Amino acid sequence: MKNRFQILVSFSVFSLLLVGFFFYSVWVEKIVYNNLKKQALEDNLTIGESIFGMLEKAGVNASNPALFIRTVQETCDVMKLPNDGYLCMVDSTGNLLAAPGFKGDRKISLTAASFSTSDRSRKLDFHEFYKQSPFNGYYEYEEIDYSDIIVGMKHQFTGYKLLVHQNAKLIKEQAKSKSMPLFWVGLGFALVLSIMAYYIIHQQVKRYQLKIYDQNIALTQINREIKDKNKVLRKKNEQLEDLAEEKDSLLGIMAHDLKNPLGGMESVVDLVESAGELNEEQEEYFSLLEQQVKSARNLISDVLEMNRLENDTSELSKDRLDLISFIEKKKNNFNTLASKKNIKLNIDSNEKELMLITGLNELNRIVDNLLSNAIKYSPMGETVIIQLEKSNTEITIHFKDKGKGIQEKEMPKLFKKFSKLSARPTNEESSSGLGLYIVKILAERINAQIDVISKPEQGSCFSLILPIGE
């Protein structure tokens, strides 16, 4: 796998460099070709001017056209130019008058040839070409199958045009031969760099393999230690589960068994009260005893309820109910308890009817607990407000009291088991520390949420957010 990766990277480096040098050599070839072409054009122009100058000095002029054409023909036959270059001469109608080996025995016209500028941006016919003096560019004649670099000049006396040619294909081959060494140098450079890349990658891969090998050894050791620790943790978790089951069983048995002696104590209190009148001190003692027995019975009931809820896996039973009517019944049920502390219970709602589907037994216990807490922690003569709000998907019940409130640092332990807060009931009511924990379990069971807003000395607002249901 690693060898294939190294070869792939090295081949990629080689290919990129090779392509790069290829295009670079093509670019250099184009530059060299343009320079050689430019030089050829300049040479052709100079040659044409020199030939006409020599003819003028020799006294050969248009007064004797036959002599003039014969002299040019002789010049064409003997003149040898670079890159298979040669001379020829035409008149204004395109007829060939002189060329290497031309005998004049047949009529040849160049009007079928095409001319184009040196950058090949524009094509010209013979008559457009003839009007320009001098003319630098390409001359193509399909019957003879060549494309030459040419220079055309119009003689001021004769009106004939002398064409000086050089073969463009040969010039291009020269440019290619000059640029090819650069390509081979690039090929060698690309090969060397690809070998270097292969070697460097090989060394890096080897270094990383050694590093990964060391890390694998370390990870193997860590995994072994983790497995050993997991075995220990698994064993301890099993022990904790056994202890938790034993605790729940013991707690249930103990709470259940305590019901009987507490019931006996309540019977004794009732018998003593029915046996005759008690003095003031005895009545106070028996009243305290009655409160403690009642507090113990409530604690046992909460413990049994907590144990039942924690182990309850039964399916939730849902009922359809009108929450307005439900809350009004709860208010009436708690009026007696509230009146003992001269507390008023007010319902605040803009709705006449609030229908929802939820677990009725769970909602019953939640509202009982939250409303009794609001009464329990409110001072004498205050008002507890039960506010109902509705949205598209939820109904919220707010229980607002004017008690001591809850300190911010105590908020995290508000819904925990047996949590004791600094705020105490205002009339020495009992508190098991399990009520809000049970409320939390019941709320989760009916997919509801509990929110609390409270500030010290400003009271508390417990909000039960219920989904409306289908």
CA 138 to chain centre: 59
Q: Looking at residue 398, what is its pLDDT?
A: 92
Q: Looking at residue 38, what is its pLDDT?
A: 78
First-to-last C-alpha distance (Å) of the chain: 60
Position 155, amino acid: H
Contact 141, 118 (CB under 8 A): no
Cα 138 from Cα 123, distance rounded (Å) = 9
Contact 388, 324 (CB under 8 A): yes
Strand order in the sheet with 394-400: 344-348, 383-390, 394-400, 460-467, 449-454
Q: Looking at residue 160, what is its pLDDT?
A: 80
Q: Looking at residue 397, what is its pLDDT?
A: 92
Q: Looking at residue 246, what is its pLDDT?
A: 56
Q: Looking at residue 88, what is its pLDDT?
A: 84
CA 38 to chain centre: 57
Residue 366 inside a domain? The answer is: yes
Q: Looking at residue 423, what is its pLDDT?
A: 67
Q: How many domains in the chain?
A: 2
Cα 461 from Cα 438, distance rounded (Å) = 18
Contact 17, 190 (CB under 8 A): yes
Task: Indicate which CATH number applies to the domain containing 373.
Answer: 3.30.565.10
Residue 205 inside a domain? The answer is: no
Q: Looking at residue 463, what is its pLDDT?
A: 92
| β-pair type (394-400, 460-467) | antiparallel
The tens digit of pLDDT for each residue in 71-104 reads 888 888 888 888 888 888 888 888 888 888 888 7
How many Cβ atoms sit within 10 Å of the Cβ of residue 466? 22
The tens digit of pLDDT for each residue in 130-143 reads 877 777 777 776 65
Residue 166 inside a domain? The answer is: yes
Q: Give the DSSP per-residue string, 435-447.
A: HHHHHHHHHHHTT
Q: Give me the domain span that covers residue 151.
A: 2-175
Residue 448 inside a domain? The answer is: yes
Closest C-alpha to 79, from 115, 38, 50: 50
Residue 259 inside a domain? The answer is: no
Cα 171 from Cα 85, distance rounded (Å) = 11
Residue 21 inside a domain? The answer is: yes
Q: Looking at residue 209, what is its pLDDT?
A: 74
Residue spans of alpha helices (H) in 58-167: 65-78, 126-131
CA distances to 141, 317, 404, 434 from 376, rounded to whole Å, are: 117, 30, 11, 15
Residue 250 inside a domain? The answer is: no
Question: Could you say which of 175, 197, 225 is where a domain stops?
Answer: 175
> Can you name the residues that pair with 399 across neighbouring β-strands?
386, 462
What single DSSP character describes residue 200?
H
Question: Could you say which of 129, 154, 175 is where a domain stops?
Answer: 175
Nearest-5° Cα angle at 140, 137 to 142? 175
Task: Indicate which CATH number applies to the domain containing 57.
Answer: 3.30.450.20
* Strand, coil or helix: 337: helix
Q: Give the DSSP per-residue string, 229-284.
A: HHHHHHHHHHHHHHHHHHHHHHHHHHHHHHHHHHHHHHHHHHHHHHHS---HHHHH
Question: Could you say which of 175, 210, 231 is where a domain stops?
Answer: 175
* Strand, coil or helix: 146: strand
Nearest-5° Cα angle at 442, 439 to 446? 135
What single DSSP character describes residue 346?
E
pTM of the complete model beyond 0.75: no
Q: Looking at residue 166, what is its pLDDT?
A: 80
Cα 203 from Cα 304, distance rounded (Å) = 71
CA distances to 43, 113, 401 from 151, rounded to whole Å, are: 9, 15, 111
Residues (pLDDT < 50) of the chain are: none
Contact 432, 373 (CB under 8 A): no
Q: Looking at residue 416, what is its pLDDT?
A: 77
Residue 278 inside a domain? The answer is: no
